[in-house]
Structure 1
Amino acid sequence: MLSAQQFKPPLRDGVSPSTVFLPFSIQYQTTFEFLCNKFAHISRQEWLQRFADGLVFSQSGLCLNQQSLYLSEQHIYYYRHLGSETLVPFTYEILFENDEFMLIDKPHFLTVNPTGQYVQQTLLTRLKKDTGNADLTPIHRLDRETAGLILISKNKLTRGIYQQLFAQKKVKKIYHAIASYNAHLSFPMHFSAFMQKGEPFYTMCINDGVANSHTEIDILEHNHFWAKYQLNPITGKQHQLRVHMNALGLALKNDRLYPKIKHDIENFNQPLQLLAKYIYFEDPLTQQQMYFSSKKDIYLPE
């Protein structure tokens, strides 16, 4: 049997396992009891199914069952039980790749990380499944509804170096968006606001306070009804571009959250008109200037 140091949990259909540490305790007789208590939001039946399906492993690689004893101060690995997911009928494209990262052109509707109802239908799962690289990790965020460029780390040893580029605001990202045209607004403009979590929890809102979000906005073209905007986020708050544009009375075309949440069935033919078009930075390892452009585009409605 492999030692704990040697065992590396494999990918299953592109999905990496979760890891949990078993602290010292005399409360539990079995690992099953511990998991049911620690993750109370997951039903006992779900955990029974995971054990029955062979989805729970010790740190040495032993497949555990419902009766496996609780062994303190060890790690265990478990995989999610995969339910049915709505197929996202769009594919990603790798635009650039070296030993440290790959640059992906992501389609609309594809969530980046496995979360909630999306596991298989996510960019990261598809990439891991296609490449076999379990160490792939997004270096920054990109909303499910937004298409365009995202950097994916391939090397966990250098991942932090690239993440620091974003933390230190050394990466420039340019977005394109389609929204209504307002002749009474003057561009280019710099928009600032205090943003915080909204209600429901997955939305953001603007409130009174010292501005913590900043966006540079310009118009590329318009037809008197619609305009194509260029957006340069100086900060990186969740949904920042959507919230800022909505605050100007320029809600993005096909936005299902702002200004009003739409609960109707999602339509793959009506993607949010927001595209991460350009990204550029100096590579911290090679000092090479990196400049990338999405192959995708968005257009003014006729």
Structure 2
Amino acid sequence: MKRRREEEEMEIVWQTPANPPERHDYIFRNAFRHEPPVMAWDVSILQKEPDVLTVCKPASVPVHASGQYRKNTVVGILEAEHGLAPLFPIHRLDRLVSGLLILARSASKADFFRQQVKCMLPYPSNGKKSRIEARVVHKQYVAKVVGVFPEDEQVVNVNVNFNVREGRSTVEVESAGNACTSLKGKAASTKFTRISTNGTHSIIRVHLQYTGHPIANDMLYLSDEIVDPFSKGMGADSTAGVSEEDSKEGFSIDPMCTNCPNLAHKGYDTDQEGLWLHCLRYTGPGWTYECPYPEWASLD
């Protein structure tokens, strides 16, 4: 806290119960942010237009600032390394998912895209149009899954609900196994097509689990058992537990920061590197943006 004593003189004063702030005091607060690490992969710019920017987002990097992440984000990296700001992400892409990310370069363009992403065309009376076909914007992903996926096209129409206790999304089904018509969960439809036998994202993940072919490195959905998201070494969305002794090694402790002694070690778990789930394409009225296939999905 700085307290003005004379016209051009400032004095640094520590605020205490015996020395509370006074009127016209300048109050400063020191904050230590311990940001989690991300993989050192580039955020590749795919297309740069006056009002739209498309990039290939690497896995492990969140799209924007949230939680403990402030600088290690796609938006933060693009601003720091390319001077691109402001940027407005127009769709979600989970931290552990890679692929196409579309960012508007103005608020008006962002609103234009977001309205299209949310828009649904009216269903025809004959009921021939599916939820997917009724959408104005179509999105396409590629995933590497467990087992040999069926050759014929698979369409999953089941409601999805996020289970806070389990820390993951679950499908709502009746006891007989039919899709539940309850309005508690989010209505969702996903169409799957096998492209190779060798090679809202939580919806895709849980729908693939529902078909019996979860993403091959998605520890959160590989098992039907309840997963404790805070347990040691469980899943791609959580940090593996470490001993207190290990957690104090490999980093310096700032004497002014009360959180430093409680930090985990500087290592990075392999299950934090990302999922085998990659956004390939977004298509809307009069526009299409694409992203190259990832290395793990090469068709060569």
TM-score (norm 1): 0.62
Name 2:284's counterpart in structure 1. 281
Alignment of 1:173-252 (within 5 A): 173-182=139-148, 185=150, 187-200=152-165, 202-208=167-173, 209-210=180-181, 212-223=187-198, 228=199, 237=200, 239-252=202-215
Contact between 2:53 and 2:104, CA under 8 Å: does it hold in 1? Answer: yes
Alignment of 1:117-196 (within 5 A): 117-168=68-119, 169-182=135-148, 185=150, 187-196=152-161
- 1:193 and 1:69 mapped to 2: Cα distance? 60
Structure 1 spans left out of the alignment, 5+ residues: 1-51, 53-65, 71-77, 229-236, 283-287
- 2:188 and 2:272 mapped to 1: Cα distance? 31
Structure 2 counterpart of 1:220, one-letter code? I
Change (3 A) 1:242 1:103: same
Change (3 A) 1:180 1:256: closer
Quote how far apart the aligned CAs of 1:191 are. 0.7
Quote how far apart the aligned CAs of 1:249 are. 1.6
- 1:160 and 1:105 mapped to 2: Cα distance? 22
Contact between 1:100 and 1:158, CA under 8 Å: does it hold in 2? Answer: yes
TM-score (norm 2): 0.62
Contact between 2:281 and 2:288, CA under 8 Å: does it hold in 1? Answer: no
Quote how far apart the aligned CAs of 1:269 are. 8.5
Q: Point out the more displaced range, 173-182 or 81-90.
A: 81-90
Percent of aligned positions with the same letter in both sequences? Answer: 19
Contact between 1:276 and 1:294, CA under 8 Å: does it hold in 2? Answer: no
Which is higher, the Rg of structure 1 or of structure 2? 2
Q: Point out the more displaced range, 267-276 or 79-88.
A: 79-88
Whether 1:110 aligns to 2:110 is no
Whether 1:267 aligns to 2:270 is yes
Find the residue that maps to 2:288 and give its secondary structure. Answer: strand
Find the residue that maps to 1:241 and give its secondary structure. Answer: helix
Name 2:176's counterpart in structure 1. none
Contact between 1:108 and 1:146, CA under 8 Å: does it hold in 2? Answer: yes
Contact between 2:160 and 2:169, CA under 8 Å: does it hold in 1? Answer: yes
- 2:118 and 2:22 mapped to 1: Cα distance? 43
Whether 1:96 aligns to 2:96 is no
Structure 2 spans left out of the alignment, 5+ residues: 1-13, 15-19, 120-134, 174-179, 228-233, 241-267
Compare the two structures and name the one with the higher strand fraction: 1
- 2:277 and 2:30 mapped to 1: Cα distance? 33
Quote how far apart the aligned CAs of 1:251 are. 1.3
- 2:23 and 2:114 mapped to 1: Cα distance? 40
- 1:220 and 1:156 mapped to 2: Cα distance? 37
- 1:181 and 1:68 mapped to 2: Cα distance? 68
Change (3 A) 1:200 1:133: farther
- RMSD over aligned CA atoms reads 3.3
